[in-house]
Structure 1
């Protein structure tokens, strides 16, 4: 039999990433004013069409970057070559305003919601171009806050430009061989130099080695370097703006930047990530001396939310593929479609429930970020953003890949094929477990934030307010038990946070518990709005809330915190025994 003969599987249709999404349109209807939403939806509809017709077909053209270190005469050139697909995706991202929207602020504090909604529905097909876009976003923000007048006049407009011919892409150089999230041992040194008329700010020369530098094809980078004594750790670090190359010169060698090698990563192959050696590299200080760690906090807030959006957007794309495939795949001898098989729908419903929870949680943080940047956030909202930022990044990165694996299995053997795209999305999403902090690092960040009683009290007031805002309506009787359960969980949070400060095993279970509780609060907030507004999705929204609280991992996360609270010292010792065996102490000494 020829391959063309016999059974031929009908290709699954391409869903519109916004119009066919089961969650985002309803969420935007709730959080955006009608006049804003009409413009936003028109653009999301447009970009969804462009995604299907123009962006998605570029996938075969996106290939790993390559590096030519020496020319045919043995001269060091360090020419970085990116694929045609990557270049075209970068241009499209700039044109669509994935950075610009957040800074044009046409819709005030709603602009961030607009920008991240657009990012989320497209990220699954943009092959991690949102990594350098996110770092460019963060660089724009730090220059807006701390940059010199000349940086704001000459560089800031390029970072937020929609014109690919003049727009700049920024890297972010924090990681060194001495540690990832721990920058206290940074080896790169910064030496002040004599100023020149062309300087963007206080000039320095940098000397060091940056171990994990994404967007190596960019125009500039933001980097940490040491301006004080090593003994002072992170308190003697300053933040710098580094041009990758002198204008009109194609190689980073023109600014003393040597590409040691490109990273051989398990995913994110399109992103050129490099190890860089800095030798007399010209840079300009951003902000004050020895205040670099404080200056990068606004950057981390932005890139961590970008990370969460990438995880959620990748899950959205996988879920869309599985959902669409179920409408054309026949089973049971061709008598049924997968969408009519209850067991199959139960699996996809579980994935959809997690997706719903992650979307509402992440956009809860996005809305607060927009308010904070526009100066309209209350003190309570600023505190809630402080709690949610590490939480959404950690929780989305932790939960999304496993759910994406379920969507792969939903296609059977076809899901394991590279052409479908789920495999790439899973590989690419795994970096979010590490980039900008692992879940353990972010758990410690959350723990530090909860030591401020005003921050915790503000969150409690907000969350308990939502659980008490249910209207007296017989239609809502079905979720009374879930509401009571959620309210009890909210009331337990302060004691869990206190445990985090004294029990070294508690921060991670506390983050998972806080994330699950917050998902429940946001799902309830949306369900109440949906019901009182008589939305078509009101029954689904109530059911999603009920399932998340009573059948999701909320109850398990609460149980985890109870278990970890018991005899944690003995448990910590036993953990080491489990890892290394009964002779762990002597083995460690050897």
Structure 2
């Protein structure tokens, strides 16, 4: 048989990622006032069309970056070459207002929701370009809050620029060979030069950054030691490091060399995924840098960079592919078992999307100075939850590189690395009083006729909230933080789903019955119960678990030696 004969597989047709998304349109309609939403929605529809055409087409131009360390005369040049597709995707995002939308604040506190919606839709086709742009976003927030007047004039305005020819991109350099999440052992030292220029006080940095992001960027925010070694993380300060010197050069002149500020690329990292993204090991040899914020408060000052992260857009694209694929003579949408699997994935997707955008909404309010004290606390609590919390339907097609599923899985793994381990993130959890109060306020807002539909799910959810509170009764078990963080992620996403179902029900939206059913199913999700059991087991076995864990992991007698 010739290849043209017989059954022909129908090409995937995902559709506009805004118009065909099961969550985003109604979610934004609830979160954004109508006077703004009527302006924003046509822009999102237009951008959704661009995602599946011009933006997706850039993927064919993507290839891994290359490093040329020496020229043909033996001179160190450290020339980093990135692909045309990578550069185009970065320029497209900048022109679309990432991160500009967030700081132009045309739609006040709702600008975050607008901008993140674009990130959300483009993420699956971005080849992780939002890694450097998210850090650029964070760097813009740092300079907006703590930069010198010149940094705000000359650096901040270019970090948020929509003009790719003049916009700056920032990386974040924290990780060293001595540790990633634990920066207390940072070996990079900063020495004051007792001089300054228009950007501020100059320092000389010497050290080695083991995992540098946005190596093809223009600046980086880096931690370096300004206090004694025994002061740990309290002796670290935050610095703005130009990758080339001078940073503010005349654009009509040639670009300064890659080694002009004493920054040398040791090697590019050989990563599992994010292959288009240049990540490197760098040595800093008397690199000029500028102090940002107060001395010896670097960890505190860099927090805005760490709080801004990427979305669940990769899952959005995977679900869109799985939903659009068809079978043979019988359409897969007509196969109950297949539809059941898709609906299960869809519930997870809805829960994660509501949780993510719920936190984005709070972030926008905090940045615009209109958040309540409770919302400030909730943002602090929910940020690590979202970071830690966030293909069985495709058959053979799901294993093909051409469909991008493999890349999305590989690229998605970096989120767990970049955001830190869940053990570290869980340390940020604090008082539950305001969290429980917020949960109860949403539950009490549920109208009686909707309550009849989801009453058993709400009762189970309330019982689980009580279990969470009980887990934090003194004395608090030392191993409780991680399962508690995941448990709170399930509870918080459930509350957001209930909030949306209540809004949908009161307004009589077309999908109000589906919204209620999604909430009900999520509460009964098997993962919720598994985390609950882990939480209960940790509470009951905490006294014996520490010794047992050490013995299992390292062998007999190790715990006693430690």
TM range (shorter): over 0.9
Gaps of 5+ in 2: none
User: Aligned pair in 2 of structure 1 residues 361, 497: CA closer, same or farther (>3 Å)?
Assistant: farther
User: Aligned pair in 2 of structure 1 residues 571, 514: CA closer, same or farther (>3 Å)?
Assistant: same
Match of 1:24 in 2: 24
Query: 3-state DSSP class of the match of 1:502?
Result: coil
Matched residues in 1 for 2:559 and 2:442: separation?
54
Matched residues in 1 for 2:370 and 2:170: separation?
28
8 Å CA contact 1:79, 1:250 repeated in 2? no
Query: 3-state DSSP class of the match of 2:535?
Result: helix
Matched, 1:365 2:359: yes
Match of 2:446 in 1: 470
Match of 1:453 in 2: none
Matched residues in 1 for 2:470 and 2:143: separation?
39
Match of 1:483 in 2: 458
Matched, 1:560 2:554: no
8 Å CA contact 1:259, 1:274 repeated in 2? yes
Matched, 1:51 2:51: yes
Gaps of 5+ in 1: 397-405, 451-455
Matched, 1:269 2:281: no
8 Å CA contact 2:550, 2:559 repeated in 1? no
Matched residues in 1 for 2:331 and 2:146: separation?
57
The 5-angstrom pairing of residues 144-163 of structure 1 reads: 144-163=144-163
Q: Pick one of 382, 388, 413 that aligns with 2:382.
A: 388
The 5-angstrom pairing of residues 109-124 of structure 1 reads: 109-124=109-124
8 Å CA contact 1:176, 1:211 repeated in 2? yes
Residue 584 of structure 1, CA deviation: 5.5
Match of 1:314 in 2: 314
Residue 532 of structure 1, CA deviation: 0.7
8 Å CA contact 2:105, 2:111 repeated in 1? yes
Matched residues in 1 for 2:558 and 2:433: separation?
43
8 Å CA contact 1:199, 1:284 repeated in 2? no
8 Å CA contact 2:205, 2:287 repeated in 1? yes
8 Å CA contact 1:464, 1:490 repeated in 2? no
Matched residues in 1 for 2:294 and 2:561: separation?
43
CA deviation string 1:431-464 (max 9, x = no partner): 1111021111111222xx33xxxxx222221110
8 Å CA contact 1:236, 1:290 repeated in 2? yes
Query: 3-state DSSP class of the match of 2:205?
Result: strand
Residue 254 of structure 1, CA deviation: 0.3
The 5-angstrom pairing of residues 565-576 of structure 1 reads: 565-576=539-550
Match of 1:400 in 2: none
User: Aligned pair in 2 of structure 1 residues 208, 349: CA closer, same or farther (>3 Å)?
Assistant: same
8 Å CA contact 1:195, 1:202 repeated in 2? yes
Matched residues in 1 for 2:140 and 2:534: separation?
40
Match of 1:223 in 2: 222
Matched residues in 1 for 2:306 and 2:451: separation?
40
User: Aligned pair in 2 of structure 1 residues 457, 418: CA closer, same or farther (>3 Å)?
Assistant: same
The 5-angstrom pairing of residues 224-239 of structure 1 reads: 224-239=223-238
The 5-angstrom pairing of residues 79-478 of structure 1 reads: 79-196=79-196, 198-246=197-245, 247=249, 248-302=254-308, 306-307=309-310, 309=311, 312-325=312-325, 328-330=326-328, 334=329, 336-396=330-390, 406=391, 409-446=392-429, 449-450=430-431, 456-473=432-449, 476-478=451-453
Residue 236 of structure 1, CA deviation: 0.7
Matched residues in 2 for 1:147 and 1:526: separation?
39
**Cα RMSD between the aligned structures?**
1.6
Residue 572 of structure 1, CA deviation: 2.5
Query: 3-state DSSP class of the match of 1:272?
Result: coil
Match of 2:14 in 1: 14
Query: 3-state DSSP class of the match of 1:69?
Result: strand
Residue 299 of structure 1, CA deviation: 1.8
Residue 297 of structure 1, CA deviation: 1.5
Residue 502 of structure 1, CA deviation: 3.2
Matched residues in 2 for 1:471 and 1:53: separation?
43
8 Å CA contact 1:235, 1:291 repeated in 2? yes
Matched residues in 2 for 1:497 and 1:153: separation?
47
User: Aligned pair in 2 of structure 1 residues 218, 550: CA closer, same or farther (>3 Å)?
Assistant: same
Residue 273 of structure 1, CA deviation: 0.3
Matched residues in 1 for 2:381 and 2:117: separation?
21
Residue 498 of structure 1, CA deviation: 4.0
Matched residues in 1 for 2:506 and 2:11: separation?
40
Query: 3-state DSSP class of the match of 1:567?
Result: helix
Matched residues in 1 for 2:536 and 2:395: separation?
38
Residue 22 of structure 1, CA deviation: 0.2
Query: 3-state DSSP class of the match of 1:193?
Result: strand
8 Å CA contact 2:94, 2:162 repeated in 1? yes
